[in-house]
Chains A and B, each alone.
Chain A
Amino acid sequence: GQNIDQPTEMTATEGAIVQINCTYQTSGFNGLFWYQQHAGEAPTFLSYNVLDGLEEKGRFSSFLSRSKGYSYLLLKELQMKDSASYLCAVRGLYSGAGSYQLTFGKGTKLSVIP
């Protein structure tokens, strides 16, 4: 099965840097995704890691360590609009399905304060 853990809530100051951690257990790992979801809206894709290391995309970076089952999302120069939930999702072999599926964590609600 799949198990994903991430903090429930975090608060950070505008202009600062925040790191959101995610640990996972999965069968047949085939990639880790981060999605952003504003309240009541659709999740939108932020980043994808399948190999160990850091992927940088503007103010957002994502890191993966497959041996540790660990990832983090790093947000720099925080803006008020970054207040949202950040969902860690792992693609792995889905039990009983014989296919790869995305399993989502419950999300980390980030509040950016002035």
Chain B
Amino acid sequence: DSGVTQTPKHLITATGQRVTLRCSPRSGDLSVYWYQQSLDQGLQFLIQYYNGEERAKGNILERFSAQQFPDLHSELNLSSLELGDSALYFCASSAGLAGGTNTGELFFGEGSRLTVL
């Protein structure tokens, strides 16, 4: 158990709909990252928050948005869903900003499997 909690574990919805994925980081971790993993792609970095503020944006579509709340949990909002958005969405957390003197390893949640029909 990594200590990172994601809900829901599975989600099935239709094209055009909107869903919200939730993530609670490990106790004490300030950084939250969102990744997308589809069958033909590796883990694709979407976005990072650090202590409530957006820190870095990766390959995140404009239809997607995220935020980190004062209690450090984070939500990823996916709207106008398309078939191609079907994927595993992982949240990860780390103690601080990557690039420090510690290893900066990421701890991953179990993921939310989104199926768009």
* Chain A residues at the B interface, C-beta cutoff of 8 Å: 30-31, 33, 40-45, 48, 87, 89, 91, 94, 96-107
> A30, A33, A43, A96: which contacts B99 (Cβ < 8 A)?
A30
A-B interface contact total, Cβ < 8 Å? 72
- Least CB separation from A48: chain B residue: B103
Contact B104 A103 (CB under 8 A): no
Residues of B within 8 A of A87 (CB): 42-43
Residues of B within 8 A of A101 (CB): 45, 48, 56, 58, 98
Knowing A42-B90, A43-B90, say if A102 contacts B106 (CB, 8 Å).
Answer: yes
Q: Which of B14-22, B73-81, B107-115 lies at the binding interface?
A: B107-115
Interface band, chain B: 20 to 34
* Chain B residues at the A interface, C-beta cutoff of 8 Å: 2, 4, 33, 35, 41-45, 48, 55-58, 88, 90, 97-99, 103-111, 113
Bound CA–CA A23/B42 (angstroms)? 15
Contact B45 A31 (CB under 8 A): no
Residues of B within 8 A of A45 (CB): 105-107
